[in-house]
Structure 1
Amino acid sequence: MTDLNFTPKTFELLEGLAANNEKAWYDDHRDEFDAYVRQPFAMMLELATDCLTGAPVPLAGGSKTMFRQNRDVRFSKDKSPYSTHVSGVLTPSGTKAEKEGLVYVQLESSGGMIACGYYKLSPAALGPIRDKIVDEPEEFATVLKDLESAGLSFSDEDKLTKMPRGYDAYSEHEYADYLKLKSFVTMVHLGRGAWLDGDIVDCIVDYAKSCASLLKFGRIVDTD
């Protein structure tokens, strides 16, 4: 258990931003937001990094792997200037420019979430993973077993309804349903307690270790 300065004030500020998503409000509360929300979040990522240094799949992050509070509204119908959540990633390289799988952490007014894996891959990146599922089903079975043991499963967000192009011949494959996935991601939702009780770092570390075989399996993705 670690005191990161996540307090009821953290969630009051997140609720306040959601209700007053405007520059004047944020400017008035910027110092508090940094002290009770963003700085504790960065420290959380740094502590998780320390714990994962010797893990099967080391991951790293900190303030530089957090996402900005300001939203890019140039091409969005929603012109709200700020994200109402705080988020960041832990990656093998310790940067946000990562294609080798990652752990994503999000803090919001209701609690938050942790996700792990490969999100919305390009067709070029999906191909090698799909091929590996076809060619090495035993290794993929290990991924599924490890996730199941941790009470996790793949999200079916954006899942194809038909076999992807070029894979019709594998429609009877034992893992054919997984070939339809466009993301290989697991996620778990958290209540406020994980943050307020000081357990969030342990939650992230345990989750990352539970997803180690998934991260290893997908590392065939070309990072060039």
Structure 2
Amino acid sequence: MFNHFEPSLLKFLKDLQANNNRDWFNDHKQQYEDHVRLPALAFIEQMDQWIRLISPHYEASPKKVGGSLMRIYRDVRFSKNKLPYKTNLGIQFRHEVGKDVHAPGFYLHIAADEIFLAVGTWQPDRDPLAAIRDHIVTKPGPYLDAIEHEPFTQFYELAGTKLTRPPKGYDKEHHLIEELKRKDFIAICSLQESDLYQPDFCKMVASRFGRAQPFQKFICEALGLRF
């Protein structure tokens, strides 16, 4: 049963950052298994009960490939950065209909220089992005409630990229035009390294995710998804 992460996780990620090449990784693959992948899968398995309480339509899948644990291998085909490995641990509990990282989800990011939780939908395609913007126009009150209520704002800040100009088809004088400019509908909750080692880490993560329920529900409603 998973209780908390160990300092060996961050040590491996720091070492990988300093030695981001295939030879080093292959020589230390067992360390990756022992200190990163196995604890991450155990965390995901333990989170299943908590995610179901937050929403029965989000999934914690502890599969080695294709589940909640994101690949450590970078896709370098279209990137100028040819380093082969990600130097962070990424875990996404996505909506049951989601096929990739752009689906609505709850996310944990662990890296040597940054640890955070995230909620929402990151870089959605054009149609879902338009659906969220339209839902904000139709229901501005529930949207403001979701992003301004204190249980949410106590821990989360809205983040992501924005358009510099109002999106086409929307009133540039709309009182929520700055929200309509968003290209990401995500919010970030920063964590400390010490949080990873707390014996009730899963419960704490679930509690923070739970504070984002109205935000996630709003996004699901906009996309015609069950929450």
TM-score range, shorter chain: 0.7 to 0.9
Q: Secondary structure at the match of 1:89?
A: strand
Helix, strand or coil at the partner of 2:118:
strand
The Cα RMSD (Å) is: 2.4
- Compute the displacement of 1:17 (Å): 0.7
Of stretches 93-102 and 176-185 in structure 1, the one that deviates more from structure 2 is 93-102
Mapped partners of 1:87, 1:189: distance in 2: 14
SS in 2 for 1:88: strand
Percent of aligned positions that are identical: 25
TM-score scaled to structure 1, two decimals? 0.87
Matched, 1:175 2:176: yes
**Cα drift, residue 197 of structure 1:** 2.3
Name 1:86's counterpart in structure 2.
89
The CA distance in 2 between the partners of 1:40 and 1:94, in whole Å, is 26
The equivalent residue for 2:145 is: 142
What's the counterpart of residue 22 of structure 2?
23
Query: Which residue of the partner structure matches residue 156 of structure 2?
Result: 152
C-alpha change, 1:99 and 1:12, in structure 2 (3 Å) is closer
> CA-to-partner distance for each residue in 1:32-85, whole Å, 9 max, x for gaps?
211111111121122122112122465322232211112122222222111111
Change (3 A) 1:77 1:132: same
Partner of 2:54, secondary structure, is coil
From the superposition, tell whether residues 24 and 193 of structure 1 become closer, same or farther in structure 2 (CA, over 3 Å).
same
- Residue aligning to 1:115: 118
Provide the rounded CA distance (Å) in 2 between the counterparts of 1:198 and 1:108. 20
Would the aligned equivalents of 1:56 and 1:209 in 2 still touch at CA under 8 Å?
Answer: no
AA aligned to 2:107 is: Y
- Number of aligned pairs? 219
For residues 117 and 91 of structure 1, the distance between their equivalents in structure 2, rounded to whole angstroms, comes to 10
Is the contact between residue 104 and residue 114 of structure 1 (CA under 8 Å) also seen in structure 2? yes
1:94: Cα distance to partner?
8.1
Q: Is the 8 A contact 1:154 1:185 kept in 2?
A: yes
TM-score (norm 2): 0.86
Q: Supply the distance in 1 between the matched residues of 2:92 and 2:152 (Cα, whole angstroms).
A: 23
Matches within 5 A, 1:126-137: 126-137=129-140
- Kindly tell me: are residues 100 and 69 of structure 1, through their superposed partners in 2, closer, same or farther at Cα, counting changes over 3 Å? closer
**Mean CA deviation greater in 88-97 or 19-28:** 88-97
8 A Cα contact 1:88 1:106, kept in partner: yes
| Alpha carbons 1:44, 1:201 under 8 Å: kept | yes
For 1:73-100, what per-residue CA distance to the aligned partner results, in whole angstroms no more than 9, with x for missing partners? 2222222111111112002318653765
Structure 1 residue identity aligned to 2:46 = L
From the superposition, tell whether residues 96 and 203 of structure 1 become closer, same or farther in structure 2 (CA, over 3 Å): farther
In the alignment, is the contact (CA less than 8 A) between 1:120 and 1:183 conserved in 2? yes
Q: 1:1-224 counterparts in 2 under 5 A?
A: 3-4=3-4, 6-56=5-55, 58-61=57-60, 62-63=62-63, 64-93=67-96, 96-97=99-100, 101-110=104-113, 112-146=115-149, 148-155=152-159, 157-167=160-170, 169=171, 171-219=172-220, 220-221=222-223
Amino acid at match of 2:186: V
**How far off its partner does 1:149 sit?**
4.3
Structure 1 unmatched ranges of 5 or more: none
Preserved CA contact (<8 Å) 1:49 1:90: no
Deviates more, 1:112-121 or 1:57-66: 57-66
Partners in 2 of 1:123 and 1:22 — Cα distance?
36
Q: Any runs of at least 4 consecutive aligned residues in structure 1 with deviations exceeding 4 A, and if so which?
A: none
Q: Distance in 2 between matches of 1:128 and 1:32?
A: 44
CA distance in 2, matches of 1:22, 1:149: 40
